[in-house]
Amino acid sequence: MDLRAKRITVTGGSGFLGSYLVERLRGMGCRDVFVPTHSEFDLTQIDAIERLFEDQRPDVVFHLAATVGGIGANRANPGRFFYENAIMGIQLIEAARRHGTEKTVVLGTICAYPKFTPVPFQEADLWNGYPEETNAAYGLAKKMLLVQTQAYRQQYGMNAIFLLPVNLYGPRDNFDLQTSHVIPALIRKCAEAVDQNRAEITLWGDGSPTREFLFVEDAAEGIVAAVERYDKPEPVNLGSGMEISIRDLADKVAKLVGFRGSIDWDVAQPNGQPRRCVDVSRAEREFGFRARTSFEDGLQRTVAWYLANRNTNRPLAVK
């Protein structure tokens, strides 16, 4: 698929990942890329979705919009996270089908995998258990969209694909401590401890869980490669193939930020899923995607961006 001649809509295009995807599409020469804003198109409302498709008549839809957060936000808002993510996706996919959209790309989440999935996570293991409890509502809402895309392909011949990205990070991430994920939260906590000359910071859990991270620019590259070259019903992991414990990650971030104090692990708080690391072979085999940014380089760039922008008027929580 040559995207340059297509009418493209990117839901969530002003968010963290979405902003990088839009930049990549426009940098490729795509001249007709539309980013709906929440104020104009509330995707939980069917009339707003219908108006979006009638106004834009997209050939390709990237559905990235989501209501997301870290462990604390997931634990505090399971009902909201389930409803808003499910209803947005279900209604949008149905509208894309009715309007004859040429291709629909739906972003899922690593949280959809069962809590005790064998490492590395293979796409075939997606249904072999219940997700980790603190983010199960979000993960299951997203997983229902995979069911929908596969059912619509089977019954209607709809060309929809489903991608499962791991935890993303990079410049312009959300650094709001109430809603951010682990890397931006660690960076901000360490930086503020340095500013306030504190000798200790407190982190949730015991530091033993592992996570896999994908640099946001690589994620945008993988999504574009998938829409150009992949047309099958099976979900595809997007990751880097690396695995690091939260404890080791905290040490790396502290060193980069310049925090020399101690870390207190609050074991009364949840760890989240014990391990996360995906098998990335399907993405490489099907559409030639392999992450290019090393974790060390990506982390350095993220820390540098935060330290350069935290005292400006630029918002650090991308919406």
pLDDT greater than 60 at residue 313: no
Asked whether 168 and 16 are in contact (CB, 8 A), the reply is yes
* pTM of the model as a whole: 0.94
Give the confidence band of 80 by pLDDT, cuts at 50, 70, 90.
very high
Asked whether 123 and 235 are in contact (CB, 8 A), the reply is yes
Give pLDDT tens digits for 264-302.
Answer: 999 999 898 999 999 999 999 999 999 999 999 999 999
The rounded percent of the chain whose pLDDT value lies above 70 is 97
Catalytic residues: 138
Domains, in order of start, for the chain: 3-174+214-241+276-292 (3.40.50.720)
pLDDT greater than 80 at residue 317: no
How confident is the model over 159-171, as a mean pLDDT?
Answer: 98
Question: How far apart, in whole angstroms, are the C-alpha atoms of residue 11 and residue 210?
Answer: 30
Q: Please state, as a whole number, how many other Cβ atoms lie within 10 Å of the Cβ of residue 56.
A: 17
